[in-house]
Amino acid sequence: MEATEDLPQWFLTHAVDLVFNIAEGTHGEHRESQVPAILESLGVPFTGSNSITLALALDKAKTKQILAFEGIPTPPWQLFPNPTTRLNPQLEFPLIVKPNREGSSKGIWRESVVGDEASLHRQVAHIYDRYRQEVLVEEFIDGMELTVGVIGTEALPVLEINFAPCEPSGEFFYSWRMKEFQGNASMGLTPRLSCPARLDAARTAQVQEVALRAHCALGCIDLSRTDIRLGADGTPFVLEVNPLPGLSPLDSNFPIMTTAAGLSHQALIQRIVELAMARYRQISRSQPGEGRSRVHPQERSTSQGLAVSRVAP
């Protein structure tokens, strides 16, 4: 089903057991929460996180406030509501400038990493003009790039994205160009992916624990993917949490991690469906006699009972 404007009408005229939600929404600052909000209002069960988590995770600065409150490391930052905002002198260059509410590295280019105040203000003005939203400025963490999937209450094997092979292209992190043309050898955009990441067991466990804590802090349900960079002393800094990670077996990072954990793509999809079904069954058992329209999947993951999956050999 396309998530078009007539979607609510469609659900009113069709019986649905469960929606497998991959909708990113149409427009607006809370777009990823639109379809879950419709489904919640109609009482239709769906996979994955609810509307509040999806809206929250799309706001990187609000996400960082929650992470910081929970004691989860995230790069020092400042939100620029507009280009006239003055830089907090406590932030240390190099800094990275990002639109606060985009994804897929939209608005993130190699020029986004700035080494002085004049370039910073130029870049902030440029992002503000182009995206018409607040601009997030963060310390640039020049360490290993990792991403960690969580499924159910388990962290998957860590995926490392190494940009060293891309050096001749001038791209050195997961910029828009890097994501858009990943694998294009003639452009030199062939990062080396390692899953599991080249980390010792203790660091791996620490990174997985941070991803699980971030997943819980944002109230993610069924699955998420947390982007992390390692600081010079090995601290895993959370860049952002993705409660709606891409699941394409062709070019998404999440399935690389589930494959490393020994799950086929079919088994991954099945697992997500089963997690959602179990959640809704539990809710309807605890609310016997209530109609479908009263079913609300408010159950949140908690930090209790979390498990870390064994890395596949």
Q: Which residues in this chain contact Mg ion in the complex, by CB under 5 A?
A: 227
**124 is written with which tokens?**
């902030």
Rounded Cα distance between 191 and 202, Å, is 25
> Which of residues 120 and 161 has its CB atom nearest to Mg ion in the complex?
161
Q: Does 140 bind ligand ADP (CB under 6 A)?
A: yes
> Which of residues 96 and 199 has its CB atom nearest to Mg ion in the complex?
96
Which residue of the chain is nearest ligand ADP when measured via CB?
Answer: 174
Q: Which residues contact 186 (CB under 8 A, 6 or more apart)?
A: none
Residues 2-61 that bind ligand ADP (CB under 6 A): none
Nearest 10 degrees: Cα torsion 53, 24, 58, 195: 90
Q: Which of 40, 59, 134, 138: binder of ligand ADP (CB under 6 A)? A: 138
Q: Which of 63, 240, 257, 306: binder of ligand ADP (CB under 6 A)? A: 240
Q: Maximum distance among all alpha carbons in the chain?
A: 64
Residue whose tokens read 């963490």: 141
Q: Does 171 bind ligand ADP (CB under 6 A)?
A: no
Q: Quick one: what does residue 31 bind among ligand ADP, Mg ion, none, with the CB cut-off 5 to 8 Å set by partner type?
A: none
Rounded Cα distance between 6 and 116, Å, is 48
**271 is written with which tokens?**
């697992």
> Which of residues 103 and 297 has its CB atom nearest to ligand ADP in the complex?
103
Rounded Cα distance between 17 and 312, Å, is 34
> Which of residues 222 and 227 has its CB atom nearest to Mg ion in the complex?
227
Q: Does 214 bind ligand ADP (CB under 6 A)?
A: no
> Which of residues 216 and 244 has its CB atom nearest to Mg ion in the complex?
244
> Which of residues 160 and 227 has its CB atom nearest to Mg ion in the complex?
227
Q: Which stretch binds ligand ADP (CB under 6 A): 38-46, 95-103, 250-258, 305-313?
A: 95-103
Q: Does 252 bind ligand ADP (CB under 6 A)?
A: no
> Which of residues 181 and 284 has its CB atom nearest to ligand ADP in the complex?
181
Q: Are strands 307-308 and 113-114 parallel, antiparallel or unpaired?
A: unpaired
Report the nearest approach of ligand ADP to the CB of residue 110 (Å). 10
Q: What's the order of all strands across the beta sheet hosting 113-114?
A: 77-80, 135-139, 95-99, 113-114
Q: What angle do CA 3, 298, 214 make, to 5 degrees?
A: 85
**243 is written with which tokens?**
């409660």
Q: Quick one: what does residue 160 bind among Mg ion, ligand ADP, none, with the CB cut-off 5 to 8 Å set by partner type?
A: none
Q: Which stretch binds ligand ADP (CB under 6 A): 21-29, 46-54, 103-111, 273-281?
A: 103-111
Rounded Cα distance between 216 and 304, Å, is 10
Q: Which of 59, 145, 171, 222: binder of ligand ADP (CB under 6 A)? A: 145
Q: Which of 33, 47, 53, 105: binder of ligand ADP (CB under 6 A)? A: 105
Q: Which of 61, 239, 257, 272: binder of ligand ADP (CB under 6 A)? A: 239
Taking a C-beta distance cutoff of 8 angstroms, is the pair 147, 173 a contact?
no
Taking a C-beta distance cutoff of 8 angstroms, is the pair 196, 311 a contact?
yes
**210 is written with which tokens?**
């941070």
Taking a C-beta distance cutoff of 8 angstroms, is the pair 32, 24 a contact?
yes
> Which of residues 40 and 227 has its CB atom nearest to Mg ion in the complex?
227
Q: Note the residues at the interface with ligand ADP (CB under 6 A).
A: 75, 96, 98, 102-105, 108, 138, 140-141, 145, 173-174, 227, 229, 239-240
